[in-house]
């Protein structure tokens, strides 16, 4: 980090199931490594913008979720993300290091459709393209706030210059959609009429999730600009580039 001014700390073990199976590895990768990043940045007096997650909330008491909602993470992944936030706050308060944790909601976009951790949008798109039914875990009434990567990048750049340091901000769209509605939207965007199949729900699945963006708007100047339909269309069109 010699002569570095700003660090964007995005690296992590991103799989929640993997964090449950390997909590020690998750702690080393998401917990200890984050402390190392903060401490190296402290020696250079480099601002740190770090990726946190809506997973810190667990099952929230109220939706939309404000940053003041008590943290109640239910998995090692969420626990370590919350730990990173607490360390960031400590480094700001004790050492004066500028830190800004960003609580990403459900991020999607180009180059994020494949692989083990592509998420439900990647899974739905690939199933639709292959002519297979879209598989929904549970009844599909669970809601999520899907935010395009372009908006996430915008939030990171704003966090790189804000005076509001040492505290977390939500990064989402402020609008949620049920997984059933998402499946229908994906079918429309892909242009297919494949069926929908429900499978058993995941253990500890969160029922509702939607970001309250009041603080992000007021203190960061963040405003999401990419609708879900436009985001899905751009994600698909980017494949041919």
Whole-angstrom Cα distance, residue 173 to residue 186? Answer: 18
Residues in Cβ contact with 34 at an 8 Å cutoff, skipping those fewer than 6 apart: 9, 50, 80, 83, 84, 87
* Interaxial angle between packed helices 119-129 and 179-190, expressed in degrees from 0 to 180 and rounded to the nearest 10: 40
Whole-angstrom Cα distance, residue 190 to residue 213? Answer: 30
Candidates 57, 77, 87, 108; catalytic one: 77
Task: Please answer whether residues 99 and 73 qualify as being in contact, where contact means their C-beta atoms are separated by less than 8 angstroms.
Answer: no
Task: Please answer whether residues 101 and 92 qualify as being in contact, where contact means their C-beta atoms are separated by less than 8 angstroms.
Answer: no
Whole-angstrom Cα distance, residue 122 to residue 185? Answer: 13
Whether 87 is catalytic: no
- Residue 188 exposure: Cα atoms within 13 Å on the Cβ side: 10
For the record, the structure tokens of 177 come out as 């959609």
Task: Please answer whether residues 156 and 221 qualify as being in contact, where contact means their C-beta atoms are separated by less than 8 angstroms.
Answer: no
Whole-angstrom Cα distance, residue 64 to residue 50? Answer: 22
- The residues that are catalytic are 77
């Amino acid at each position: 980090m010699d002569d570095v001014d700003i660090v964007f700390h995005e690296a992590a073990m991103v799989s929640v199931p993997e964090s449950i199976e390997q909590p020690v590895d998750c702690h080393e990768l998401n917990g200890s490594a984050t402390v190392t990043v903060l401490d190296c940045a402290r020696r250079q007096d480099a601002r740190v913008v770090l990726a946190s997650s809506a997973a810190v909330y667990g099952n929230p008491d109220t939706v939309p979720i404000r940053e003041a909602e008590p943290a109640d993470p239910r998995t090692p992944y969420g626990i370590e993300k919350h730990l990173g936030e607490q360390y960031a706050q400590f480094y700001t308060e004790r050492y004066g290091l500028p830190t800004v944790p960003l609580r990403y909601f459900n991020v999607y976009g180009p180059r994020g459709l494949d692989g083990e951790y592509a998420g439900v949008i990647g899974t739905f798109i690939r199933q639709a393209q292959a002519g297979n039914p879209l598989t929904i875990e549970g009844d599909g009434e669970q809601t999520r706030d899907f935010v395009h990567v372009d908006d996430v990048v915008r939030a990171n750049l704003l966090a790189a210059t804000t005076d509001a340091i040492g505290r977390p901000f939500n990064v989402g769209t402020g609008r949620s959609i049920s997984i059933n509605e998402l499946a229908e939207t994906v079918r429309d965007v892909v242009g297919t009429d494949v069926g929908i199949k429900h499978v058993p729900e995941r253990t500890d699945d969160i029922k509702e999730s939607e970001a309250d963006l009041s603080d992000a708007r007021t203190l960061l100047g963040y405003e999401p600009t990419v609708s879900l339909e436009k985001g899905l269309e751009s994600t698909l069109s980017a494949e041919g580039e």
